[in-house]
Structure 1
Amino acid sequence: MTECSDYIKNIFPSIDEDLKQYVEGVLRNGVDDFEDSDEVYDAIGEVLHEVSTDKSEADIKHICNELLTMLRPGKVVKGNGNMKILDAPVHLASMAGNLETNVDEIKSIWVAQRDDSLKVNARKLEKAEAKLQEKQEKRTKEVKSIVVPKLQSATASQVVNKKESKMEAKGNNRAQDIRIENFDIAYGDRVLLQGADLMLAFGRRYGLVGRNGLGKSTLLKMISSGQLRIPSHISILHVEQEVTGDDTLAIDSVLECDILRQTLLEREKEISIAINAGSTDPDLNTQLNEVYAQLQNIEADKAPARASIILNGLGFSFEQQQNPTRTFSGGWRMRLALARALFSRPDLLLLDEPTNMLDIKAIIWLENYLQLWPTTLLVVSHDRNFLETVPTDILHLHSQRIDAYRGNYEQFEKTKNEKIKNQQREYEAQMQQRQHVQEFIDRFRYNANRAALVQSKIKMLEKMPELKPIVKEPEVVLRLPETEPLSPPILQLDEASFRYSADNRLIFSNVNLGATMESRICIVGDNGAGKTTLLKIIMGILTPTSGMRHVHRNLKFGYFSQHHVDQLNMNVNSVELLQQQYPGKPIEEYRRQLGSFGVSGDLALQTVSSLSGGQKSRVAFASMCMGRPNFLVLDEPTNHLDIETIEALGKAITKYTGGVVLVSHDERLIRMVTNELWVCGAGSVKSIEGGFDEYRKIVEQELEAAAQSK
């Protein structure tokens, strides 16, 4: 069987492991039943065709033939028994004369010799056929469950304005505003947007908001991929993929985005080489002067400084700017992609959660930079402070449509709430009027003297526009587990220092900090300052190089990693995930736990891979809290969460009776929950007085000083 397994893997290197095991199982169980390679083909041919689109039916049959030969080496695969090889002409008439004495010789020429033990037993044949039928049905069911599922992808359709289409065809469309009218977006069978309209005025900054899983990121992809049509002369840049790592320097990677500048510089180099080589072409000097003039017009000499300012603002030191892109991690390459976008200044810049990859200093810089953005900006963000600082307009995605509001997020909330109140009042007033009219109709329906009046009331009811009741989005509520109080001291670091190896620099030294069950501590600092390292020392995952860590013997940590999604099993549903991690509990308890984090109903039975980023985060929270921890350690818990869920998380942490230490860049959450701030940087960790306001003031002073030094 090992020989067959190796042969299958060699012929079909990309075969799924489950399919391979299935094929091996069919061969192992049917080895005694297969009479020839056709039966092997009937059993596994369909599966082999599924995993190999480049092989013909003849190829697959040959493979089945080889497999049968390996399974039963002594078996003749094709033919009807042992045949006699004729090495001379045969005179049948003379042989027939001696028929009685030469029967065996004659039979050997044209009659197959058959062992009587191989004669077919009708009853056994019937049983074998029934068994084979059962196997085939079972195989069909298994293949259906294993064979590659239908890949769902987003699709879009829209009604195109005829006037704009004609202008586009003639090349006369120079409009800078973007209008996408009456469009639909679906993801598989699920409709995300239906009959929606999107209007983006040039030079305005739009924040796109809405609950997790409604299609905000999908909308950006539909625009950038061209599935939603916009004027062809408008350049689009969608920051969604990290920069490829190679030997290109970080600063050069950003400068390469200016195609015109790069082209002119290359042309200047070519002309200069030609002139220095002694070319006598009189036009070369003229061309060189034209190139110089164009470079001057686009201020090409200022480009390196502008690129350096952007990189510095996003956290790249001067030394890092000179490093090859391959030396950076994924998060830093995403920053590079953002720097390239900011440098190239497309007509429409699409950003999806740009603050997720940044520390607080870089977020403050980005907020200030984008407030002066000269073209159109469409950004998806769940950072409330960012949305109150950057956008000039808010686009609210809900109920398969998009509503536009002027102003930042705070103004949007006020306007939206007022709009909902007015709609509710209008609906209630109409319902009262309808009820009053209906009562009149019911009272005088059979009164001949009032017949005309009743008819007019009926017509009035029919003409009255039917208002739909206001459907409010359900409030998000998260419930953290109850804990028993512990007597202090709970957690203490005394003179703690840490480095990863003797050759590495000290991450921090002489740290003296403590926490209690009432602590709400936020750790802040630049990326790479050691925030996540400090969390791991607090939990005992890492041991201080020197100094001591003291913890209460009954302290139980709950850890939420910023890479929590990678740790989830994507092939099961949320209930099964909790069953695997905490076996032996009733199904109702798993569902109740998921429900306390907003994962209820059919959502809890969807595979984890089909959930949005925010929904996966909620599942990870549910999993963490099912262990009933009394001290939470949260590393970037707001990534992927929508604004409503972040608010709910803040309220849940406030009510929680255990201790909390978190690393976060979400200013709103930090202000909501923390009563102490630990700042990592310059090889130390210090608690600062004045909370987040004091820290923000320090960061802004540093940014201002850096800008003046440039």
Structure 2
Amino acid sequence: MSEAKSSAISEILRSEFSQIDDSIYQYIEGVLDVGDDFQNSNEVYEAIGEVLHEVAANKGEDEIRKLCQQLLTVLKPDLVDGQQNGVYSSYNGGERKLLNNPVMMSDAASFMKENDGEAPAASIWNKPKGEDMKVDTRKLEKAEAKLQQKQQIKKEKNSNAPSNATASQVLTKKETRMEAKGTNNCKDIRIENFDIAYGDKLLLQGSDLSLAHGRRYGFVGRNGLGKTTLLRMISSGQLRIPSHISILHVEQEVVGDETPAIQSVLECDFKREALLKEEKELGEKMNGPSADPEMSARLSQIYIELQAIDADKAPARAAQILAGLGFSPEGQLKATKTFSGGWRMRLALARALFSKPDLLLLDEPTNMLDMKAIIWLEDYLQNWPSTLLVVSHDRNFLDSVPTDIIFLHSQCLESYRGNYENFVRSRTEKFKNQQREYEAQQQLREHVQEFIDKFRYNAKRASLVQSKIKMLEKLPELKPVEKEVEVILRFPEVEPIAPPAIQLDEMSFGYTEGKTILTRVNLSAGSDSRICIVGENGAGKTTLLKILTGEYNPTSGMRHNSRHLRIGYFSQHHVDQLDLSLCPVELLQTKFPGKPIEEYRRLLGSFGVSGDLALQNIASLSGGQKSRVAFAVLGTARPNFLILDEPTNHLDIETIEALGKALGKYQGGVVLVSHDERLIRMVCKELWVCAGGSVRSIEGGFDEYRKMVQRELQEVNK
């Protein structure tokens, strides 16, 4: 609120209520400050009228309503009150407006019961006053607490919002009124008719998002369409949801300090922490000379409250969550500052799972996890009690966890019941039905048009021709189904090399003397190999890949490479190492000079980077598009053996499918580290398990590995 408006409101209130209490004045000013959505004086009266009646018992309702009109005029000088809902007469300049039609009192009463929860017809025009005209201090304290919460939300509204992103949203009067009164206790979430733009690019237009309490929603769509932006808009408050619903968006890693990991998780339960702190303080006072019966009573009440929230079970629950996400018993006691960024993200996820918010927002939670932790998380989230909205490109995760799928495409959102497999089936059937309907209508149009053209100048059939013309005009205009462009990746053709391409004999490796990471590894891979390496984070998977590429040399044993071997290595940080100031064509020109522009564009096109995308700055591309550029750089070198470390981290589902097909057709060898079960099943014929300082090939493939992990998790949970 501007200083001029604040001064004018102060003058009105002080002149009308010379003895107004400062706390009441500050409360009224605060309500008016956050009440930007007031549309007429009735809404102002509903917000502060009751307080004004208590301040001035000698003033009637008409006087208070006129005062509310004056305050509204100060807040919104250009707003003129109109007739409201066809029920109440409104005020303009202090004068009553007559309604156009008579009003039935019973209808008005039922309207108020439906919208405001007030039933008796006698109370429609005048609300009865209580005998005690003093201000209810408890009510005032609650109102001030709500006001502070709203002001805090308003203050932080843009603090966490994505840079350059904006949102607009249409709020209904009923929602606004219920929010102002604090009467909305529903846990369902509905965000209606909203737009989201990122700079000049419109991401969503006129969209609706409905989230039913207790359901788990998978959020899918191509990279760069705005899924992450939508999650940030909800968590930052730019898209408004009822203030009583708690939100937690797992996006930033935990700040490292001296706090032990398990204590960091326990601190998320603010109520438990506050009760334990108060219990400790009262316990110390009870042992001192200042003890009194009130302290003893309060201490008993604290014990009851702690028992009600199962405070004694909280450490065990926190430890179980941390163990499931890969934290060892020793690791749970380590200070958070000792963990790497990836482990701090796991810690942030553990805090979110422990605190159980009303709405949990997860963005690619499986990116930071190994296969064992993913399997645990899938099982854990299947029993999630509140609402979950998760962005994921892990096909198996989306088949296991969600009860519903929200599909983002063409600047709008579509909801489907069931998991991802059901979504694919339903969407395919929907496309077929739409195409059949479109083709049937086109045939009808052609048939009718032929009749019109044939008898247009026949006087006897003029009326029939006219009716046919009108029928065509009334037909809804159907458009052909626009299917998303299929993503196709193609690695260049290469000459296969004689086996073995790479062989490890009694190979051991350690970074420092006395600390061995891998011991006595005996494995080999050829040009027809499709090998996936799995294991927990920190087990040595990336180290093994760097030994295979030759970046690290074994500390003992041998590594044999074919002399014709040309390795293409895709690291986890490959995308981050691209020169963001260049466009994809310029990047290839820099790394592989001497080719015509058409050749660079052809190479990029084979990895789905075509058209204007090839000429955009790499900085402006989405994570998945940058990954495709990185694959194009990899493919241009024409390697005959690919070593890939977590290649799916930034890819959408369609691109992961395309990568799986491309690797299946590739003529060289492949060694892959991935946690994407769908890709592993599509590509790999052999599984290497990295655990306990050794690497071994297992029979039975991924199915056997999953059974092995589930047995380990069952042992942990016993």
TM class by smaller structure: 0.7 to 0.9
Q: Which of 200, 218, 227 is 2:211 aligned to? A: 200
Matches within 5 A, 1:259-270: 259-270=270-281
Q: Which of 272, 277, 283 is 1:272 aligned to? A: 283
Asked whether 1:570 is paired with 2:589, we answer no
Matches within 5 A, 1:101-500: 153-500=164-511
Deviation at residue 162 of structure 1 after TM alignment = 1.5
SS in 1 for 2:512: coil
CA distance in 2, matches of 1:675, 1:525: 17
Asked whether 1:597 is paired with 2:624, we answer no
Q: Which of 595, 604, 609 is 2:619 aligned to? A: 609
CA distance in 2, matches of 1:438, 1:677: 63
AA aligned to 2:635 is: C
Deviation at residue 468 of structure 1 after TM alignment = 1.2
Any conservation in 1 of the 2:609–2:629 contact (CA below 8 Å)?
yes
* 1:14 aligned residue: none
* 2:9 aligned residue: none
* 1:667 aligned residue: 677
Deviation at residue 580 of structure 1 after TM alignment = 1.3
SS in 2 for 1:495: strand
CA distance in 1, matches of 2:606, 2:173: 51
* 1:582 aligned residue: 592
CA distance in 1, matches of 2:191, 2:480: 28
Asked whether 1:520 is paired with 2:530, we answer yes
CA distance in 2, matches of 1:489, 1:388: 38
* 2:551 aligned residue: 541
Any conservation in 1 of the 2:407–2:414 contact (CA below 8 Å)?
yes
Can you list the C-alpha shifts for 1:140-193, whole angstroms capped at 9, x where unaligned?
xxxxxxxxxxx9611111111221111011110111100011111111111111
CA distance in 2, matches of 1:653, 1:364: 25
CA distance in 2, matches of 1:590, 1:264: 65
Amino-acid identity (%): 72
* 1:27 aligned residue: none
CA distance in 1, matches of 2:216, 2:291: 53
Can you list the C-alpha shifts for 1:18-62, whole angstroms capped at 9, x where unaligned?
xxxxxxxxxxxxxxxxxxxxxxxxxxxxxxxxxxxxxxxxxxxxx
Can you list the C-alpha shifts for 1:396-442, whole angstroms capped at 9, x where unaligned?
10011010000000011001000000000000000110111111111
Which one is further off, 423-432 or 589-598?
589-598
CA distance in 2, matches of 1:585, 1:187: 36
* 2:646 aligned residue: 636
Asked whether 1:686 is paired with 2:686, we answer no
CA distance in 2, matches of 1:439, 1:246: 79
Can you list the C-alpha shifts for 1:221-251, whole angstroms capped at 9, x where unaligned?
0100001110000000000000001111000
AA aligned to 2:205 is: Q
Provide the aligned C-alpha RMSD in A. Answer: 0.9
CA distance in 2, matches of 1:348, 1:564: 34
CA distance in 2, matches of 1:190, 1:442: 45
CA distance in 2, matches of 1:309, 1:226: 32
SS in 1 for 2:481: coil
Matches within 5 A, 1:33-48: none
What TM-score do the two structures reach when normalised by structure 1? 0.78
AA aligned to 2:455 is: F
SS in 1 for 2:348: helix
Can you list the C-alpha shifts for 1:560-618, whole angstroms capped at 9, x where unaligned?
11112221111111111111111221111111111111111111111111111111110
Matches within 5 A, 1:546-557: 546-557=556-567
SS in 1 for 2:439: helix
AA aligned to 1:465 is: P
Asked whether 1:655 is paired with 2:697, we answer no
SS in 1 for 2:330: helix
SS in 1 for 2:203: strand
SS in 1 for 2:657: helix
AA aligned to 2:310 is: E
CA distance in 1, matches of 2:389, 2:546: 37
AA aligned to 2:683 is: V
Any conservation in 1 of the 2:381–2:401 contact (CA below 8 Å)?
yes
CA distance in 2, matches of 1:306, 1:488: 51
CA distance in 2, matches of 1:554, 1:322: 50
CA distance in 2, matches of 1:317, 1:184: 45
CA distance in 1, matches of 2:287, 2:537: 48
Deviation at residue 700 of structure 1 after TM alignment = 0.5
Count of residues in correspondence between the two structures: 557
CA distance in 2, matches of 1:236, 1:331: 23
CA distance in 2, matches of 1:169, 1:208: 31
Larger radius of gyration: 1
CA distance in 2, matches of 1:415, 1:489: 46
Which one is further off, 430-439 or 274-283?
274-283
Asked whether 1:559 is paired with 2:554, we answer no
Any conservation in 1 of the 2:660–2:679 contact (CA below 8 Å)?
yes
SS in 1 for 2:498: coil
SS in 2 for 1:169: helix
CA distance in 2, matches of 1:152, 1:694: 45
Any conservation in 1 of the 2:285–2:291 contact (CA below 8 Å)?
no
Deviation at residue 279 of structure 1 after TM alignment = 1.2
Runs of 5+ consecutive residues of structure 1 not aligned to the other structure: 1-150
Any conservation in 1 of the 2:499–2:525 contact (CA below 8 Å)?
no
CA distance in 1, matches of 2:209, 2:273: 35
SS in 1 for 2:259: coil
CA distance in 1, matches of 2:467, 2:243: 55
Asked whether 1:529 is paired with 2:566, we answer no
AA aligned to 1:700 is: Q
CA distance in 1, matches of 2:573, 2:358: 34
AA aligned to 1:338 is: L
